Structure 1
Amino acid sequence: MSSEKVHVEHCKGVNGLDKVILREIRRCSAEVYLYGGQVTSWKNAHGEELLFVSSKASFRPPRAIRGGIPICFPQLKSTGSLEQYGFARNRIWSIDPDPPSSPSDISHKAFVDLILTHSEEDMKIWPHRYEYRLRVALGPTGDLMLTSRIRNTNTDGKSFTFRFAYQTYFFVTDISEVRVEGLETLDYLDNLKNGERFTEQEDAITFESEVDKVYLSTPTKIAILDHERKRTFELRKYGLPDAVCLEARFL
């Protein structure tokens, strides 16, 4: 068995959908479905699941997979003929046949490069030509890294605007025992109050009731502390200025 097969395995998942399994030597793993370009599992060296996927997830196109890390593109809110969160999470992505060069100091072998391009059907609801490249990589210590590159391929050179997000569902046991640190003193838009703008007064975000806030100009590092499991998720992001803090309680 080659080292490539140890680190990267292409196989069938739920309902015969294509997926890629990434593995590292410390027994960390991640699973990525080509449907939606979506990470649906991320396990640490102890085999503990770090992402939440709903028990009601159908894994049947055209419905999006509920949970994991859906890719929201080219929008986050429903406008015109585009559905909420866009269409990227409802499309079949391809393995990138011509991936960008790996970093010279790359120390991990468990990664997959996916690509999504416009279709004639998509052009009817969003008339722009694009190329979306997504790399999902698993580091030697179990770090999960997603890198997006979106290119305008309009033949007339016409520009367009878009929004995208990694809508990550972290697995926690008791939401009341969770704190989010790194967002204190920041301005945010409260979607439960018609998008009104406020300034965060608390030293950490806690969840005693429903929360749906968009924090603006957030720092590179954000921490999610799960006291019940004695676990901390450390998020590091680059090129993504805002962060959405949303409580999800579905099964």
Structure 2
Amino acid sequence: MQVYLYGANVTSWKNDHGEELLFVSSKAVFKPPKAIRGGIPICFPQVGGLGNFEQHGFARTRVWTIDQNPPPLQESNSYRAFVDLILRPSEGDFKFWPHSYEFRLRVALTPGGDIILISRIRNTNRDGKPFTFTYAFHTEVRVEGLETMDYLDNLKGKERFTEQADALTFESEVDKTYVSTPNKIAIIDHEKKRTYVVWKEGMPDAVVWNPWDKKAKAIADFGDDEYKHMLCVEPAAIEDPIPLKPGEEWTGRMHLSAVPSSYCSGQLDPKRVLYGTNCCIYLIAVWQRVSTVSSIT
């Protein structure tokens, strides 16, 4: 597993056979001002262009630091390895978002090779002001299994629809936000007979995105044909912003594993399964609604 301090981005995750499981564009830029295209970038304090910041906020284009003395986590998992990172606002950030915060991120590798990301965002404003934010994890594959769910079509002014297709297939650009999705999602790669299983807490929504051919060619840090090998599926909290009062902390969690595709046979509701073909995944964290808020004194 490889984690960059720039953007706190997990850029590599391999299985026991040495196969790369995360998508990173061959044209990705690993220095400011561009965010790293791929891996598991973090969107905070906004998702997309929903606010006054750069696309997906500033957390993914800041240099984080090692958190030498993080507050204890109520965590029962044992880890093969982990790192604690922290981000605090810079003077320049106050010009765009006049709030004080502490954003702590634990990136961990379990003995079985799974990845766990735990995010804790705390309002440290001294003026008594609350704030709201949005956040997301970004995954790239082809999708089936979100039929019958409501979604907001971001290419049509966020108009609300209900998915009617028996399976999601892609013949053009797609950018949809599915709301009230399950906490467990499976993404099946038929070509490699591999299933990615995502467990999420604090992120009720899921975004599905693929730029397709024309937009892919217009993105400088994205290969012209890479859209054929990825689909972004983002565990997210988007429909409602997350409110935090001073002294409150929100916790979001994602657990990601890669297992043989037979794992899902008969064990997961088929309406909760996402299917991919010969893809690595690309996760973005998107948070916009509070699910776990605790007061810190």
Normalised by the size of structure 1, how large is the TM-score? 0.80
Unpaired runs of 5+ in structure 1?
1-29, 171-177
Aligned to 2:56: 85
The number of residue pairs the alignment matches comes to 214
Conserved 8 A contact 1:179-1:226: no
Q: Distance in 2 between matches of 1:90 and 1:105?
A: 31
Conserved 8 A contact 2:85-2:106: yes
Match among 3, 6, 17 for residue 46 of structure 1: 17
- How much does 1:136 deviate? 0.7
Q: Distance in 1 between matches of 2:80 and 2:71?
A: 15
Aligned to 2:201: 238
Conserved 8 A contact 1:73-1:88: yes
Conserved 8 A contact 2:44-2:57: yes
- How much does 1:80 deviate? 5.7
Conserved 8 A contact 1:70-1:168: no
Distance 1:79 1:237, change over 3 A: closer
Aligned to 1:108: 79
Conserved 8 A contact 2:101-2:122: yes
Higher RCO (C-alpha 8 Å, min separation 6): 2
* 1:34-91 deviations in Å (ceiling 9; x for gaps): 0001010111111111111111112121211111111000001325641110000010
Conserved 8 A contact 1:53-1:66: yes
Aligned to 1:62: 33
Q: Does 1:179 align with 2:143?
A: yes
Worse-matched range after superposition: 97-106 or 47-56:
97-106
Q: Distance in 1 between matches of 2:150 and 2:6?
A: 35
Match among 128, 147, 156 for residue 99 of structure 2: 128
Aligned to 1:143: 114
Distance 1:224 1:150, change over 3 A: same
Q: Does 1:213 align with 2:176?
A: yes
Q: Does 1:228 align with 2:191?
A: yes
Normalised by the size of structure 2, how large is the TM-score? 0.68
Conserved 8 A contact 1:37-1:114: yes
- How much does 1:168 deviate? 3.2
Q: Distance in 2 between matches of 1:246 and 1:240?
A: 17
Pairing 1:12-51 to 2, within 5 Å after superposition: 30-51=1-22
Identity of aligned residues (%): 65
Aligned residue for 1:192, secondary structure, equals helix
- How much does 1:141 deviate? 1.3
Unpaired runs of 5+ in structure 2?
217-221, 224-297
Q: Distance in 1 between matches of 2:100 and 2:80?
A: 31
Aligned residue for 1:123, secondary structure, equals helix
Distance 1:141 1:203, change over 3 A: farther
Pairing 1:70-81 to 2, within 5 Å after superposition: 70-78=41-49, 81=52
- How much does 1:151 deviate? 0.3
Distance 1:133 1:180, change over 3 A: farther
Distance 1:232 1:113, change over 3 A: same
Q: Distance in 1 between matches of 2:2 and 2:14?
A: 9
Q: Does 1:97 align with 2:68?
A: yes
Q: Distance in 1 between matches of 2:168 and 2:109?
A: 28
Q: Distance in 2 between matches of 1:167 and 1:109?
A: 24
Distance 1:218 1:212, change over 3 A: same
Q: Distance in 2 between matches of 1:144 and 1:83?
A: 28
Aligned residue for 1:77, secondary structure, equals coil
Aligned residue for 2:155, secondary structure, equals helix
- Partner letter of residue 144 of structure 2? V
- How much does 1:103 deviate? 4.4
Conserved 8 A contact 1:71-1:164: yes
Match among 137, 142, 151 for residue 188 of structure 1: 151
Match among 151, 160, 175 for residue 131 of structure 2: 160
Q: Distance in 2 between matches of 1:80 and 1:137?
A: 31
